[in-house]
Chains A and B, each alone.
Chain A
């Protein structure tokens, strides 16, 4: 065997080793989601079987049709979209300029406020906000949830955007200034278009974490203002617990987020690494 062949085989073996380790590492996640799908597609008899059955003997689409047919599903779905959409939009509107201002003023220290927001348990916002919304008579509407979701979305947007704007060269803005742009023109015509990737990242992260939020809804949502995570949790307590429909509902709730994660994996990885590190 020539040295070159041996070296190639060694490299192949070590690659195989890494791949094996990686497979081992992702197996809990992979198994979990496969099992989740399996649960959601099985009839109750299959789900109640021991030893457990992995491949459904009969595909129970009715678990899913049940979720969609349940009277309030589309209302809750819509609530989730409104809350997440509005909270993200508002966060972008105030957060993107703020990230720009903070980055340009070199006032990253002021981001400490954001750090505090990150350190505060969500519940401590909820107590005062709950009372205020009660006084304002807003509790039957989506407004309270939208407003309190800003606690999640605004810091994410500011965080990611500070990092982005810090890396866009000042020279460009100076060139625009000499070209005769005023500060809004500089921001809207030069800085913003360049920062588009950053805006996309902050949008995605903001959507995901707002969509996933549970605690705010538990306290603030009424019967008609539940978001999907709260609604699916309530299934557990109010309906007779049967695994198939429950798993199907759980999957439906988290499906948009998982799709987004897979589609935008690159941006998410970039955003989370940058944002998190800046945050320390």
Chain B
């Protein structure tokens, strides 16, 4: 086990910059998840840690060793690929043994490790099958088994669950989490599924266009998004954003560009009159008879809750309501916003403003 440190890591393909000065400290045994939109550079960063891509600038260290120029096999890492990358011509057992054999591990030790890993993953009955004779979830497990037997300092996962159906994905999520707790290994995990990120991670690193938008504990990120991008990316359905400006007279009011007045808990004096955006999550909007009038556009019941899309003087707001409600399009109702759950962001830079 070991800590992983990325300091000012950059990557470019020719003139095209893909990663720009990414710095992350990953503690020993931590489960870190990289999230971000497609193409933001998650896989590239992971592959650089694995040694599959070269490092253009900055340093990557595992433990206290800078590993920039080390070939993958000397980095003491294991990786689980999105398509599992099982060797199609080898049985499950051979797949799991391959890495150990290459390292010249003694036969007895190989057998012991493979038996151990297959027991953990419940693969014992599948050991002599070829990958094509396995289901998706079983392949996934073999891929993990191949990583586990190596007993690496760091596990790398690149969207390991994205090829599984929804149910299996939830199941494997739990399994990976349990496995992490059991092995206590450092894990770096890439996904663009934010539920995966929220449920599994000790620390989430949100990436945007090759930069880190925010890093921190899942709930911290959820509760205090550092910028507009994170605010909108994390959370589903995503946060409602309204354009406008703070009242010029110093009162704690935000006036939207369509003229709706929203009461806030507090606005620091220096922000009076400042153009900004405010955000509020769907679950922080309640039905409130003394609130603002809103017209129903769409009702989407999911069973456990109801998602409403409302029109408030030209603003479209998504609201999540726990109770069963029976609204029809064009019904008019009144809503209120939970004042202390309103986020504010600078209109230009998008960075968080203190309220």
Question: Which of A171, A179, A182 is in CB contact (< 8 Å) with B98?
Answer: A179
A180 touching B99 in the complex, CB below 8 Å, given contacts A174-B52, A194-B88, A194-B89: yes
Q: Give B81's nearest chain A residue, CB to CB.
A: A171
B73 adjacent to A178 (CB under 8 Å): yes
B81 adjacent to A175 (CB under 8 Å): yes
B102 an interface residue at 8 Å Cβ cutoff? yes
A51 an interface residue at 8 Å Cβ cutoff? no
Say how far A192's CB is from chain B's closest CB, in angstroms: 10
A179 adjacent to B102 (CB under 8 Å): yes
The CA-CA distance from A194 to B71 in the complex, in Å, is 24
Per-residue CB contact flags for chain A residues 146-180 toward chain B (1 = under 8 Å, else 0) read 00000000000000000000000101101111111
Chain B residues whose CB sits within 8 angstroms of the CB of A174 once the complex forms: 47, 50, 52, 72, 79, 81, 85
Question: Which of A178, A181, A182, A189 is in CB contact (< 8 Å) with B77?
Answer: A178
A179 adjacent to B52 (CB under 8 Å): no
Chain B residues whose CB sits within 8 angstroms of the CB of A181 once the complex forms: 73, 98, 102
Chain A residues whose CB sits within 8 angstroms of the CB of B103 once the complex forms: 180
Q: Considering only CB atoms and an 8 Å cut-off, how many residues of chain B contact the other chain?
A: 23
B79 adjacent to A178 (CB under 8 Å): yes
Instruction: Categorize the interface residue count of chain A.
Output: 10 to 19
Say how far B224's CB is from chain A's closest CB, in angstroms: 37
Residue among A172, A178, A185 having the largest count of chain B Cβ atoms under 10 Å: A178
Q: Give A175's nearest chain B residue, CB to CB.
A: B85
Chain B residues whose CB sits within 8 angstroms of the CB of A171 once the complex forms: 81-83, 85
Chain B residues whose CB sits within 8 angstroms of the CB of A176 once the complex forms: 87, 98
Say how far B93's CB is from chain A's closest CB, in angstroms: 14
A179 adjacent to B89 (CB under 8 Å): no
Say how far A191's CB is from chain B's closest CB, in angstroms: 10
Say how far B165's CB is from chain A's closest CB, in angstroms: 21
Per-residue CB contact flags for chain B residues 328-339 toward chain A (1 = under 8 Å, else 0) read 000000000000
A169 adjacent to B85 (CB under 8 Å): yes
Q: Give B88's nearest chain A residue, CB to CB.
A: A194
A193 an interface residue at 8 Å Cβ cutoff? yes
Chain B residues whose CB sits within 8 angstroms of the CB of A169 once the complex forms: 83, 85
B150 an interface residue at 8 Å Cβ cutoff? yes
Question: Which of A177, A185, A190, A194 is in CB contact (< 8 Å) with B72?
Answer: A177
B interface residue numbers (CB < 8 A to A): 47, 50-52, 71-73, 77-79, 81-83, 85, 87-89, 98-99, 102-103, 146, 150
Q: List 28 A-B contacts (CB under 8 A).
A: A169-B83, A171-B81, A171-B85, A174-B47, A174-B50, A174-B52, A174-B85, A175-B81, A175-B85, A175-B87, A175-B146, A176-B87, A176-B98, A177-B51, A177-B71, A177-B73, A178-B51, A178-B52, A178-B73, A178-B79, A179-B73, A179-B98, A179-B102, A179-B150, A180-B103, A182-B73, A189-B98, A193-B89
Query: What are the 6 tightest A-B residue pairs by CB atom distance, in nearest-first order?
Result: A179-B99, A180-B73, A175-B85, A171-B85, A180-B102, A193-B89
